[in-house]
Amino acid sequence: MDLKQEINRRRTFAIISHPDAGKTTLTEKLLLYGGAIQTAGSVKGKATAKHAVSDWMELEKQRGISITSSVMQFEYDGYCINILDTPGHQDFSEDTYRTLMAADSVVMVIDAAKGIEPQTRKLFKVTAMRHIPIFTFINKLDRDARDPFELLDQLEKEFGIGTYPVNWPIGSGVDFKGVFDRDRRQIMTFNEFHRGQDKLKAIECDITDTEKLDELIGEYSRRDLVDQIELLDGASFDFDIDQVRCGKLTPVFFGSALTNFGVEPFLENFLKMTTAPLARSTKEGEVIPESENFSAFVFKIQANMNKAHRDRMTFMRICSGKFERDKEYYHVQGGRSLRLSQPQQLMADNRQIVNEAYAGDIIGVFDPGIFSIGDTICEAKHKVEFEGIPTFAPEHFAVIEHKDSLKRKQFVKGVEQIAQEGAIQIFHEPNTGMERVIVGVVGVLQFEVLEHRLKNEYNVDVIRSNMPYQFIRWIGNDGIDVAKLNLTSDTKWVQDFKGNNLLIFTSEWNINWALEKNDGLILEDFSKN
């Protein structure tokens, strides 16, 4: 298979949802179809003692939520599929945002009973900014659900996007009979007893075949279905693949990931509708995937994935060409050549050394501390630099101190390594050491994760003191004497560990005070490219 053929069979997508909408369950069922795993774990450990294969961190297993993004690759029907499973919890939206930068399309999972929830809304906005294809899987039809027309209307009104139901549910909860495939005009009937163990075959049944429909789903359900399909065919958006691929029309699928109902039809339709790897923007222009020159960017860094080795992994999205193990590449931000001798593809915490990978693939490499989020790796003779990934401004702050002075080195190492992953920001007050640091996070649950990881990965117990600050700004003036600024008592001067000066505030009123009382002071939003 030549380079173009290998790249064109890649499909790289992220799965997003509000917590507990069934995202991780859907991910596992897709992996089952690809033969990547043999049995699915239980998201919260109720049905079995196993845990979701995409949730490898101990705290994730305890809480039953995804805290970090996981990367999984498998083969299905000639396609090479890369799934990026993202955190559902809003406190980890920054990790999700960076992961979406590495995806070519997005699958949005929605709870049929709850509809669009706050985190779904936030993640959709991030996705819409990139104009990438969005596919919707409305989950949990085996439970009581909202009216499907109401769910479509909510999607269209809140997201400003067209909807095209690929299939249509026949009832919900105890009255759930299955789905009607609008394209094939076939029924797939639901049997709650199979619990996802068997592949279900669609039953060919014309919508006008009253007798057969009554036999399959009952007269009452048949009447409802006929009325709804007639309304849908006359009033819904027409299917337009170009509108799908620019993120203006979302194909909608109904099913039940837990019972495995509707997952395989979703996967098969999704693979036909979504795109091969997309072109990427660089400071030098657009890079196309089929280019013979290798290029990639760093979108995620994770320390201590392997407890035995305490290593640090950097995840790269390959944007163009073919990656070859042990070949020399160029690290643009580091300004030097390097060899990535042990590239790996991952299935949660399971790893496999790979000798080659292609545009669209995600690879993990060992990182001695040289990479940062957004870095570019490419051919030395064909240097490019991908556009940077903005950092979210922290909204919560706390002082973190180690309890045991003998553990200072472990404390410093742990805080610095975790900060390099991009989930937290660390600061200090001028002229103070690392005995106490100020940590800024987007969501408060990040504090709990930090404490848990310092304890379990670095053997350090810490004391956390929450601070009242909510806003942070860079000081844009070079050479300014910050100590002489006229600031309110609830404004604090801090520095990052590159020596940059910043101010943290308890309110926007204090920001305006600082600008009014200090003529010429420049305050910049906290983001970097």
Q: What is the DSSP string of 158-226?
A: HH--EEEESEEEE--GGG--EEEETTTTEEEE--TTSTT-SPPPPEE--TT-HHHHHHHH-HHHHHHHH
Q: Where in the chain is the domain with CATH 3.40.50.300?
A: 13-69+105-273
Summarize the confidence of residues 126-144 as an average pLDDT: 88
Confirm if 325 and 354 have CB atoms less than 8 A apart: yes
Q: How far apart are CA 176 and CA 173, in angstroms?
A: 5
Only one residue has tokens 């989950």, namely 139
* Cα distance between residue 202 and residue 295, in whole Å: 43
- pLDDT band, residue 44 (cuts 50/70/90): very low
What are the start and end residues of each CATH 3.30.70.3280 domain in the chain? Answer: 396-525
Q: Beta-carbon neighbour count of residue 500 at 10 Å?
A: 11
What homologous superfamily does CATH list for 280-378? Translation factors (2.40.30.10)
pLDDT digits (tens, 9 = 90+) for 316-363: 999 999 999 989 999 999 999 999 878 887 655 567 888 999 999 999
Residues of the chain with CATH 2.40.30.10: 280-378
Residue 265's H or E segment, with its range, is helix 263-273
Indicate the average pLDDT of the chain. Answer: 84
Partners of 250 in beta bridges: 163
Architecture of domain 13-69+105-273: 3-Layer(aba) Sandwich (3.40)
Q: Which pLDDT does position 47 carry in this prediction? A: 38
Selection from 21-35, 303-317, 384-398, 402-416 with the highest mean pLDDT? 402-416
Q: Does residue 209 or residue 460 have the better pLDDT?
A: 460
> Of 179-188, 235-244, 310-319, which one has max mean pLDDT?
235-244
Confidence label for 65 from pLDDT (cuts 50, 70 and 90): very low
pLDDT of residue 525: 87
From 3.50.50.60, 3.30.70.3280, 3.30.460.10, 3.40.10.10, which CATH number describes the 396-525 domain? 3.30.70.3280
Does residue 58 surpass a pLDDT of 60?
no
For 75-79, 441-445, 477-481, which range has the lowest pLDDT when averaged over its residues?
441-445
